[in-house]
Amino acid sequence: MRRLVHITLSPACRTARLVLGEKRLACDLVQADDPLAHLPMFVDLDGRMIAGLWAIIDHLEGAHPEHPLVPDDAVERAEALRLFDWAMTTFHELVTKRIVFEKGTQSQTGAASRRAPNMETVRMGRDALRASLAELASLAEARGFLAGREISLADLGLAAHLSALDYFGEVPWAEIPAITEWYTRLKSRPSFRPLLSDRVPGQPPALHYAELDF
């Protein structure tokens, strides 16, 4: 059986889970003993171990091309990879680390240390989140998905981050209907269902977290 070593609220690990789901690949989830390890780590059926999100995506795109997550069209491909890179770097630094990593535990986020949340840092993350979603809303409204008419890595990467933020009830859905409609469609996909069943011990999700219509 395939295995994915992960931590629950890590956006990189959540992205890997979504990619596996979109590829229709069954996979056992193994909670990492060391949250600071190079995660996610994927073990394929042949026993090959692949560490790191980009390496896992490259392996799965090559081994399972029947459900592509990178567009064939050169313009859409460049846009999908640009947005995916932005989600996993800029958005991660400005938003997710300031909110999820402040409010979550080290064992569930991979944060370097555990201390009381700095609410000024959280506030900065909330401001950056609103600004980012306002820009993304126009893309989702015009294209259907972020990079084009079909789902791509761009959608999965951002949705992975938003799902972790939404676990804490931190996404202002009512303010951005275009993003809410886009996320509802992502949230309704079979690949998303395992994420909606996630529960962190001692830290229950927001009441609407698993609801498909919110």
**pLDDT (tens digit, 9 = 90+) per residue, 7-65?**
999 999 999 999 999 999 999 999 999 877 899 999 999 999 999 999 999 999 999 99
* pLDDT for residue 214 is more than 70: no
Q: Give the model confidence (pLDDT) of 191-210 as tens digits.
A: 999 999 999 988 899 999 99
Which pLDDT does position 112 carry in this prediction? 58
For 109-136, the DSSP string reads H--S------HHHHHHHHHHHHHHHHHH
Between 1.10.3720.10, 2.40.10.480, 1.20.1050.10, 1.20.1290.10, what CATH number should domain 74-196 receive? 1.20.1050.10
Q: What single DSSP character describes residue 28?
A: E
Average pLDDT, the chain: 94
For the whole model, what pTM was predicted?
Answer: 0.94
* pLDDT for residue 113 is more than 60: no
Between 110 and 212, the higher pLDDT residue: 212
Domain extents in the chain = 3-63, 74-196
Domain 3-63 is in which class? alpha beta
Burial 148-165 (b: 16+ CB within 10 A, else e): bebbbbbbbbbbbbbbbb
* 114 — pLDDT class (breaks 50, 70, 90): low
